[in-house]
């Protein structure tokens, strides 16, 4: 299954809001974003600064996932924070489309794009999550920040992972891309 990837723009806030629900496992714990206001730091005012970078994927012209990074600071109190120069990653794929390579295709393209701007990216993951293997396959390693963090969603312990990005020429997938076409 080959998704078509598009850059996330500030005008596409709804995509981030919808995908943050899945990125934070809210569907697993029967909660909504309004139940956990602290999660707004990961998507609120996305794209209003150059600190934000993201992609979303369409399969058969339907939203299937999104991946984005935000450079936050210590005052935000976010999980996965390392320093003011390391953005924090969020990724989501609709549950019915997981395991089909969409997440891998999105994250690999994001690495290329982010490598032009950042040296590293970080992500926080629930300590016993199978998603850790996904991140390790994509080059993330454990990062010890000196304290144990808890998930904003359910209080479970989370670990922080970090990936060193490669500086390389940006190559963008062009199959099926039409810059004149806007998403509704």
Per-residue pLDDT reduced to its tens digit, 133-164:
999 999 999 998 777 888 989 889 999 999 99
When the pLDDT of each residue in the chain is averaged and rounded to a whole number, the result is 88
- Band (pLDDT 50/70/90 cuts) for residue 71 is very high
| 51's tokens | 């600190």
Q: Where are the domains of the chain?
A: 4-164
Interval 37-44 mean pLDDT = 88
Residue 121: pLDDT over 90 = yes
- Band (pLDDT 50/70/90 cuts) for residue 179 is low
> Which fold, 4-164?
Aminopeptidase (3.40.630)
CA distances, 20 to each of 6, 24, 40, 45, 142 (Å): 17, 6, 9, 13, 23
- Band (pLDDT 50/70/90 cuts) for residue 27 is confident
CA distances, 89 to each of 61, 92, 176 (Å): 25, 10, 26
Region of residue 21 (left: phi > 0; alpha: psi -120 to 50; beta: else): alpha
Please state, in angstroms and rounded to a whole number, the distance separating the CA atoms of residues 10 and 70: 13
Residue 175: pLDDT over 90 = no
Give the pLDDT confidence score for residue 183 in this predicted structure: 46
């Amino acid at each position: 299954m080959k998704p078509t990837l598009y850059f996330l723009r500030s005008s596409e806030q709804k995509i981030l809001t919808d995908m943050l629900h899945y990125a934070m496992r809210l569907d697993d714990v029967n909660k909504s974003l309004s139940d956990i206001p602290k999660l707004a730091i990961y998507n609120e005012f996305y794209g209003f600064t150059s600190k934000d970078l993201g992609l979303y994927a369409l399969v058969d012209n339907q939203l299937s996932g999104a991946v984005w990074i935000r450079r936050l600071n210590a005052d935000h109190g976010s999980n996965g924070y390392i320093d003011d120069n390391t953005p924090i990653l969020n990724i989501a794929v609709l549950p019915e489309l997981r395991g089909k390579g969409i997440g891998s295709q999105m994250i690999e393209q994001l690495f290329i794009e982010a490598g032009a701007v950042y040296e590293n990216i970080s992500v926080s993951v629930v300590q016993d999550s199978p998603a850790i293997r996904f991140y390790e396959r994509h080059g993330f390693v454990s990062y010890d920040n000196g304290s144990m963090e808890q998930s904003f969603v359910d209080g479970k312990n989370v670990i922080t992972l970090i990936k060193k990005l490669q500086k390389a020429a940006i190559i963008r997938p062009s199959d099926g891309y039409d810059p004149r076409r806007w998403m509704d």
